[in-house]
Structure 1
Amino acid sequence: MKTYHFIIKGEVQGVGYRITTYLNATRLGITGSVKNLSNDNVEVFAQGDEKIIDNFRKYLKIGSSMSHVTEVEEDILDRPKFDSFQVIY
């Protein structure tokens, strides 16, 4: 299974971005994780059907009502399968 790796840049920490990402991922049936990085970006790993990932990607670009996403970097990695979607603190 493909693992999509996203780095989200902009005003994405301290504005509800991770919980919004978690809610969208679980609603869509995506597994993976989301966490804040020390450089003020957010990192997301996502596994799921390619069409569902396409929808999820749109949510990542929007973020929460208080966030401001300026860039979403993406690549595909080989990783073990995730069992659920987690917010990493």
Structure 2
Amino acid sequence: MKTYKLLARGRVQGVGFRYTCTSLAKKVNVFGSVKNLANGDVEIILQGEGNNREEFITQIKNNQVNSAAQVESLEVIDTYDAQEMNDFQIRY
């Protein structure tokens, strides 16, 4: 299954962003993981059907996930084939 690696930049750490990404993923039925990076960005690994995946990305880009977060940019930095995932989790 096609897997997307996204980088969210802006005020995305210390505001519950990972937890709300997880809730959104369950709501729109996508899979993967979310992780804080040392440089202040958040990495999202994402799998899902086209419409579901696009809904997730759109809500993240438009700051509809968390009122305390401020996503300034969401970059797709890689796509690749990976083993199919069946949940969405926070990585530490």
Return the TM-score normalized by structure 1.
0.93
Count of residue correspondences: 89
Whole-angstrom CA distance in 2 between matches of 1:77 and 1:60: 21
Indicate the residue corresponding to 1:80 in structure 2. 83
- Which range is displaced more, 78-87 or 33-42? 78-87
Aligned ranges 1:33-72 → 2 under 5 Å: 33-61=33-61, 62=63, 63-72=65-74
Gaps of 5+ in 2: none
What SS is found at the alignment partner of 1:57? helix
Gaps of 5+ in 1: none
What SS is found at the alignment partner of 1:39? coil
Structure 1 runs of 4+ aligned residues shifted over 6 Å read none
Q: Give, in angstroms, the shift of residue 35 of structure 1.
A: 0.6
Return the TM-score normalized by structure 2.
0.90
Whole-angstrom CA distance in 1 between matches of 2:53 and 2:34: 14
- Asked whether the equivalents of residues 30 and 48 of structure 1 are also in contact (C-alpha less than 8 Å), the reply is yes
Give the superposed CA RMSD.
Answer: 1.0
Indicate the residue corresponding to 1:14 in structure 2. 14
